[in-house]
Amino acid sequence: MSKRYLLKNGCVLSMDKSIGDFKKADVLIVDSIIAAVQPNLDVPDCEVIDATDMIVMPGFVDTHRHVWESLVRNIGADWSLPVYLQNIYYNSIGSKLRPNDSYAGNLLGALEALDAGVTTLLDWSMIYSPDNTDEYIRGLQDAGIRAVFALGVSGEGEYWSRDSKLTVPEDVRRVKQQYFSSDDQLVTMGLAIRGPEFSHWDASVHEIQLARELDVLCSMHLGFGSWGADDRSIEKMHKAGLLGPDLNFVHANTMGYDEYKLLADSGGSISVTPEIEMMMGHGYPATGLFLENGGTPTIGIDVVTSTGGDMFSQMKFTLQAERSRINETILASKNMPGELNLSTRQVLEFATVAGAKALRLDRKIGTLTPGKEADLIMIRTTDLNLFPVNDPVGAVVQFANAGNVDSVFVSGRPVKRGGKLLHVDLDHVRKLARESRDYIMSQYTITNAQGVGAL
């Protein structure tokens, strides 16, 4: 017998332009699928959920996160990018992970995301052994989140050397066959490659070709800090015929202006991680530069060593950083800004439908469209930081926080109701995470910017 939920009388933000928004409407979920979105549905044999005083909308899509780092969350609140790399990649904390630590980190990190209304994420993974790989995947699966598991190489050895010839693990085909033989599942596969700015050109070409052979998304860091300013990597990839909609570029702060158009024209995506980029020294977020050249950016949270794991904060950073960039040019001309250049609606699209498209999941998720899978969230509008709601989109992007997320559905399955996660023993999760954190920190000494032991 099918499971049917009827969400009644919610303020519905469908994010589907052909459907629009509703001040009051109903959403019917049948098994894993959105069956209808319209006012005054009368459907028998449903579990009716009162969505009065709720905003009902698609779940957030985080296009770039290192999920396991939940084990060492907030440890890098004062870290620059070089200090982060020193601790996480070079002489790395990551290399200390045992398989059970990989499981605990991904389970905790994925549950954190779900609790905050992030129903889909790309897990940009560092792999140290096949056993670690298996446990990363199991952690995502047990959490019940939708995810792209982007398998990559570890941060050891020559990872960050420009002439490195290291390639993704030979284990990649085993992982594809064992776990990802079908795309019709919550956790699917991607490759997390080093890209042309952090490896030999031939290695990058090989890895992109391998991703295409496996028919998976290929994600890479590119154009950030002082590394990518003069590389012209997008131009090189364009000339080599390598660009395409299956490539995802993380950060892209310091690319040539014309390269944003080459990338946009190819259908490739950019993951902007605004708070981390401004904090750590990657460069100014590329949101507006990509928009000006016909692209639509997406939003990633990146590292919870240094920021919270919710999309609400990153939407605000995305919005105000770009508004500030344009406002400063207007003020420099001795004028005052009139109409702001970036809207809350656009940013909400970055965090939902654009993210789904970048992860090649837009046929399934990203909008509340009948026929798509029911990945959706309900946000309480009676909470004092939101009440009374006069602009629902503005309320979500500018005023809401993770504490306002009342309910979360993934593929039609409720994973959070009434503000509480379901189907999970949180005390057990905390126990696993605490034991893994204690082990990792017993094996490694954190260094600060001066290289002096900080913890």
For 152-202, how does the pLDDT look when each residue is reduced to its tens digit (9 = 90+)?
876 665 665 666 776 777 789 999 999 999 989 999 999 999 999 988 999
Q: Does pLDDT of 79 surpass 80?
A: yes
E strand or H helix that includes residue 355: helix 355-358
Specify whether 238 is located in the same domain as 328. yes
Number of domains in the chain: 2
Residue 237 CA to residue 266 CA, distance in Å, equals: 11
Q: Which residues pair with 380 in a beta bridge?
A: 54
Q: Which two tokens stand for residue 238?
A: 């364009």
Q: Is residue 452 part of a domain?
A: no
More confident residue, 274 or 182: 274
Mean pLDDT of the chain: 93
Give the CATH number of the domain where residue 282 resides.
3.20.20.140
E strand or H helix that includes residue 274: helix 274-280
Closest CA to 288 of 296, 300, 277: 296
Q: Is residue 103 part of a domain?
A: yes
Give the CATH number of the domain where residue 24 resides.
2.30.40.10
Specify whether 340 is located in the same domain as 393. no
> pTM of the full predicted structure?
0.96
Specify whether 155 is located in the same domain as 40. no
Residue 52 CA to residue 43 CA, distance in Å, equals: 18
Domain final position from 357, 387, 402: 357
Q: Is residue 125 part of a domain?
A: yes
Cα 55 to the chain's mean position, in Å?
21
Least reliable range by pLDDT among 145-159, 274-288, 294-308: 145-159
Residue 354 CA to residue 61 CA, distance in Å, equals: 8
Q: Does pLDDT of 81 surpass 50?
A: yes
List, for residues 343-393, the tens digit of each pLDDT value.
Answer: 999 999 999 999 999 999 999 999 999 999 999 999 999 999 999 999 999
228 three-state secondary structure: coil
Q: What share of the chain is helix, strand, coil (3-state, %, to 5)?
A: 35, 25, 40
Q: How many CB atoms lie within 10 A of CB 86?
A: 18
**Residue 420 main-chain phi, psi, to 5 deg:** -125, 135
Q: Is residue 70 part of a domain?
A: yes
List, for residues 429-444, the tens digit of each pLDDT value.
Answer: 999 999 999 999 898 8
For residue 445, the model assigns a pLDDT of 80
Specify whether 42 is located in the same domain as 150. no
What single-letter DSSP state applies at residue 120?
A: E
Residue 316 CA to residue 318 CA, distance in Å, equals: 5
Q: Which domain holds residue 174?
A: 60-357
Residue 211 CA to residue 221 CA, distance in Å, equals: 16
Instruction: Band the pLDDT of 96: cuts 50, 70, 90.
Output: confident
Specify whether 399 is located in the same domain as 313. no
